[in-house]
Amino acid sequence: MKKKLNVNNFTSLLHPYPATLITTMGDDKKPNIIAVAWITPLSANPPIVMFALRRERYSYKLISENQEFVVNIPDYNLMKEVLMCGTYSGKNIDKFELTKFTKIESEFVKVPKIKECIGNIECKVLEIVDRKELDHVIVLGSVLNVEVEEELFDKHWDLTKLNTLLHLGGNLFTTNINEIKKEKV
């Protein structure tokens, strides 16, 4: 039997989503980290990623200032660090200190990336699509550089070796089974 939900709760139906950590840096050169699950590829060629971002977030200010960001892919072991980055604001706290993550220099952007993550995607803002009546803007990023942990990836993540961090909502998480099914039609 199906039941109706309040329409504002539709977001839960689309989860669990892979969690990502987005690093940003504003004019003061202090890097910040936000947890973002509402992210998806938009275009493969040219390579463009898009994600939803609240205007109230500190990283919205930082991205607006410097027009750059890095998408870092955490695995299941980094659940606590991801929740930290999603709970506190970079306005008041240094999230690299908080999480003990290691900054590494990016190749194409000034924003550093996170060493402990299994993949990093360096991006330059292509456009911020802002519709005033919505509670998030859409950030479109041109992908400039992509790196992955080599033993975990071959055309796709090797889920037999890897537990991705899947966010269910709030402080709830899960992960994938360690099996890949190849389907035929």
Within 16-75, the residues that bind its own copies by CB under 8 A are 16-18, 20, 37-52, 71, 73
The least CB distance from residue 86 to its own copies, in Å, is 9
Q: CB count, 10 Å around CB of 109? A: 21
For 141, the token pair is: 């990023």
Nearer to its own copies, 41 or 65 (CB): 41
Site for its own copies in 131-150 (CB under 8 A): 131, 133-136, 138, 140, 143-150
- Supply 117's token pair: 């993550």
Shortest approach of its own copies to residue 94 CB, angstroms? 15
Q: Residue-wise over 118-146: b if at least 16 C-beta within 10 A, else e?
A: bbbbbbeebebeeeeeeebbbbbbbbbee
Neighbours of 147 (CB within 10 A): 16
Stretch in the footprint of its own copies (CB under 8 A) among 22-30, 58-66, 89-97, 116-124:
116-124
Q: Contacting its own copies (CB under 8 A), which of 6, 27, 29, 92?
A: 6
Q: Which of 61, 24, 25, 54 is nearest to 37 (CA)?
A: 54
> Does residue 14 sit in helix, strand or coil?
helix
Nearest approach in angstroms of CB 13 to its own copies is 4
User: Does 5 sit near its own copies (CB under 8 A)?
Assistant: yes
Choices 24-32, 58-66, 89-97, 121-129; region in contact with its own copies by CB under 8 A: 121-129
